[in-house]
Structure 1
Amino acid sequence: MFLNARTRLILASILLSSVVTVSVLGIVYVTTNVIIEQETRSVVEAEITGLSDDFERLGLLGLAAAIDRRVQSSTKQDAIYLLTDYRGRTISGNLATWPTSVEPGGGWVELDLVRTDSEEEVPIAAISIRLESNARLLVGRDASGRQKFDRILVQSAGLALIAAFVLSLITSWLLTRLVFSRITDISDTANTIVAGDFARRIPVRGTGDEFDRLAVTLNDMLGRIEELVNNLQLTTNSLSHDLRSPLTRLRTHLDTLLLEDAEQQDRDKAGKRALEEVDHLLRVFANLTEIARAEARLPKSDFETVDMNALVRDAVELYAPVGEERGVNLLGVGTAKPINGHRALLMQVLSNILENALRYAPDNSTINVRLVDQDGGLCIEVCDEGPGMPDAFIKTAIQPFQTLDPSRSNPGAGLGLALVAAVARMHDGNVHLENTTPGLKVSVTLARGDI
């Protein structure tokens, strides 16, 4: 049977918490016992030394009297003393007989013995020495209190382990619930998008944590994907509509060329118009290719430092003669710092905007091309004095195949501003259209990038 990730995470958390708790309690238990034992030994060894001094000063009877006083002292209820002569007969102390397993001078011992004030055996930790005249002295402590403390410590450790288990269970459940609820949000959103709802986004809870930052990043990615899918869908639908008319006209012209009874003049006219339709189709596909390149976000290695002042000046000089034929004056104003960009596509942006402006600008008017330097980038503003755009159309004007001439009787396929928008996005910028009455202002914002 396979456990899901949440269960495995909870079990791992409980196991880790239990191991840490047991380790800490084990260290506390061992350390406490070592400290108590060292303290007991220090006290007993100090008493052995003191009683040995009493023996040297007062003799055996004086030592016995000192032991009796200590046995009777209320402050030494856990103290163990036993003084015997060379034959093993008890002289003083609170033990009935000398333990047969204890050899004087044998060091620290722990055993169960019967005290004179009790009928039951009690655990004792003691040290014994041999005095002059072969008398023997045993000094120790009743270890019942320590064993009781050990039992309490073990019981407390058990309760602490149970509490740690319950606490880790609750904590890990809450944490995994929080984590997996965020993962579930991402998974549910992904499943919804797979089902076709590209407008769905991952909820951002406003906590500012890693999951929120991930959600924001993924939502930006989903927004970009939705935009590309919508553009693809729009392009596909528009292609089926926009190519039908030129292809139909092309077929008509080719049919004229194939007519045996057609006059040569009609053949020449049909051939010329067929070539015009082919050129139109080639321009459409060329624009689509440029848009695809821009949408694909060309690698930064294709970027270079671009002097936008010079680029705008070149574009104005290129299209100025076209405007002069109708009395339209092109003016380039403003300056800006260089940016890191794709020179050819940026020139194409200027060309597309100026071609649109010249197409709709009235005779004897002015088209202003302004460069505005901004923090982190620049803005290209092109203002004409034409009729502008309907407000409803402005919202969709930068989408592919959007044109003010639904009949497609005028030249152009509605791809110019779409390419401008794609190149702007490639340069981390955007396009804004605004009616200025009269005229239209096209603003293209571009990031400066790494110069």
Structure 2
Amino acid sequence: MWRSLAGTASARLAALFAAAITVAALLPMLLIYYQVSVLLTQRIDHYLERQAAAAGPVERADLLRRVGDRLDSDLHRISVAGLFDAQHRRIAGNLPVLPPSLPLDGRAHAVAADRTGNPAWTEGTPLRIVGRVLPDGTVFVIGGGTWALSEIRATASYVVFLWLAPIIVMAAATGLWLTRQAVAHVRDLQRSTQRIIAGDLTERLRIDGRDDDIDRLAASINSMLDEIEHLVEQVRSVGNDIAHGLRTPLARMKTQLDRLRTGPPDRARLDGALDALAAELTQTLRVVTALLRLAEIDGSRRRGSFADVDLHAIATEAVAFYEPLAAWRSVTLEARATSARVRGDADLLSEALANLVDNAIKFTPEGGRISVEVAADAATATLRVRDSGPGIPEGERVRVLDRFYRAEATRHLPGSGLGLALVAAIMRLHGGRVAVADNQPGAIFELILPRAA
């Protein structure tokens, strides 16, 4: 498992994570180390500068005694003290020569030990030295080694290492653990993807609920797979529906042709058979057209072109269009519409209402009555069609919305059984629904839609 992590993007992220944690832990320690070094150096410098300043008003004899006392009390041989005449010749102290690079300004400066001429100090030994010219021209030099400061720095470095080592180990372990988790998740995604490639369109990528980038990517891919599955199912459904819708008329046409082949030649008989075949072909074309239209609507997910639609206008236009047909069938058609606005496609909503009104006229007997109504409440708007036809039994009110289903009382009438399925598809596209109720006598169809905001 761990070998497979090497070279992966997750492994690189884990290394970056460990490096970031290490840097974050190291920076404050380095800052503390630097501040301590600066503070100790400043304290040493201030002490030496005060000692050099105090030598100004002192007699030479007292100054020589001070130099001797400082060197005698220096058990670790880390002090520097010296007195030089105006020509920089040594008078006293443990400095054989005056360091040529030392500024005589009364301020502490860093001087390498090899510049002091004292063989007791090895090359590179760090020293802090102050040189000051006294009123009589004498040069007073005082200083000391910074071995103690170097030891403190070494100790601080060791402490930093002790502090940093477990942090690096923990950061690396945490990064590797996170990497392993990420790789495991990615491998799950790969396995799911392979099953999808193999043809299982019901497979979905696992979402752990962490709402991280991988979860969001998996959710997006799952949404895409839902859409692909929906489209594939639509293609399969259209194929099945076409086969179902064409089987019966094609069988009837074959029967007609068989009868023509076996029967005696007769002009009237031939004309009748051709008329029957033409009617069957017309019905077949209607079924295919309806199925393609149904697939087009059911497969549409685009609502960007939706606009505010007034159902009152749709209802009155439908009544005006179908009124001549209703009058010819001796059926009263009227509108009882109030204004109610929804978000939708006006053409599709008109098509849905037209299907309902056309069915109502078809199934309502002479002298019957049909009303087209618009009602609304705070949340929904409803297009309602009432008729006084045979009605729909309660057990069939859901099934009449299925493709090719026809109610028992109306199966003797011409039709494809797709009109109400088309209405249901339009309602699904608009986020609405179709409700069927009893009008006693007749049926009530309601297109219930969410109101426009």
Question: Normalising TM by the smaller chain, what interval?
Answer: 0.7 to 0.9
3-state SS of paired residue (2:79) = strand
Q: 2-side partners of 1:180 and 1:326: how far apart?
A: 74
What is the aligned partner in structure 1 of residue 141 from structure 2? 137
* Structure 1 match to 2:9: 9
Alignment match, 2:95? 98
Q: Name the counterpart of 2:435.
A: 433
Q: How big is the shift at 1:449?
A: 7.5
Write out per-residue CA displacement over residues 338-381 of structure 1, whole angstroms, 9 at most, x where no aligned residue: 6442x333222112223344455577665554434467874434
Cα distance per residue 1:295-330 (max 9 Å; x no partner): 342866866664332111122333345556365655
Q: Which residue of 1 aligns with 2:82?
A: 83
AA in 2 matched with 1:352: N
Alignment of 1:299-338 (within 5 A): 306-323=309-326, 325=329, 327=331, 331-337=335-341
Q: CA separation in 2, counterparts of 1:215 and 1:328?
A: 57
Separation in 1, partners of 2:182, 2:203: 21
Residue 277 of structure 1: how far off its partner (Å): 0.9
SS at match of 1:58: coil
Q: How does 1:245-284 map to 2 (within 5 A)?
A: 245-254=248-257, 261-284=264-287
**Residues 24, 389 of structure 1: CA spacing in aligned structure 2 closer, same or farther, 3 A cutoff?**
same
Distance in 2 between residues matched to 1:249 and 1:188, nearest whole Å? 50
- TM-score, normalization by structure 1: 0.74
2:404 equivalent among 390, 401, 404: 401
Q: 1:187 to 1:200 in 2, by over 3 A?
A: same
Distance 1:187 1:444 in 2: 45
Decide whether aligned partners of structure 1 residues 26 and 236 sit closer, same or farther in structure 2, where only a CA change above 3 A counts.
closer
Alignment check: 8 A CA contact 2:52 2:130 kept:
no
Q: Match of 1:53?
A: 53
Q: Report the Cα offset of residue 152 of structure 1.
A: 3.4
Provide the residue aligned with 1:417 in structure 2. 420
Superposed counterparts of 1:30-429, under 5 Å = 31=31, 35-36=35-36, 38-64=38-64, 80-84=79-83, 88=90, 90-91=92-93, 97-98=94-95, 102-103=99-100, 105=102, 107-111=109-113, 123-129=125-131, 131-132=133-134, 134-140=138-144, 142-176=145-179, 179=182, 183=186, 186-202=189-205, 219-254=222-257, 261-297=264-300, 306-323=309-326, 325=329, 327=331, 331-337=335-341, 339-341=343-345, 343-359=346-362, 367-373=370-376, 378-384=381-387, 386-388=390-392, 391=395, 394=398, 397-404=400-407, 410-427=413-430, 429=431
Quote the offset at 1:280 in angstroms: 0.5
* 2:57 counterpart SS class: helix
Unaligned 5+ runs, structure 2:
104-108
CA deviation map 1:386-442 (0-9, x unaligned): 543554772x65443344469976532332233223333443x23233444756554
Give the residue type in structure 1 aligned to 2:129.
I
- Count how many residue pairs are aligned between Structure 1 and Structure 2: 436
1:126-182: per-residue Cα shift (whole Å, max 9, x none)? 114254554541313x43333233333433444454434333334334544555565
Aligned equivalents of 1:24 and 1:78: distance in 2? 41
8 A contact 1:430–1:444 mirrored in 2: yes
Q: From the superposition, tell whether residues 12 and 225 of structure 1 become closer, same or farther in structure 2 (CA, over 3 Å).
A: closer
**Contact 1:192 1:200 (8 Å CA) reproduced:** yes
Q: CA distance change for structure 1 residues 257 and 426 in 2, over 3 Å: closer, same or farther?
A: same
Distance in 1 of aligned mates of 2:227 and 2:393: 26
1:440 and 1:202 map into 2 onto residues whose CA distance is 46
Counterpart Cα distance in 1 of 2:306 and 2:224? 23
The alignment's TM-score, normalised by the length of structure 2, stands at: 0.74
The answer to whether the 8 Å contact 1:329/1:367 transfers is yes
- On the 8 A contact 1:352/1:420 being kept in 2, the answer is yes
CA positional deviation for 1:290: 1.5
In 1, the alpha carbon distance for the partners of 2:190 and 2:438 equals 46
Mapped partners of 1:37, 1:255: distance in 2: 111
**C-alpha contact 2:111 2:128 (8 A) present in aligned 1:** yes
CA distance in 1, matches of 2:51, 2:187: 77
Contact 2:342 2:449 in 1 (8 A): no
Matched residue type, 2:154 = R
Q: Is the 8 A contact 1:122 1:143 kept in 2?
A: no
Which residue pairs with 1:94 in the alignment? none
Q: Which runs of 5+ in 1 are unaligned?
A: 92-96
What is the SS of the residue equivalent to 1:56?
coil
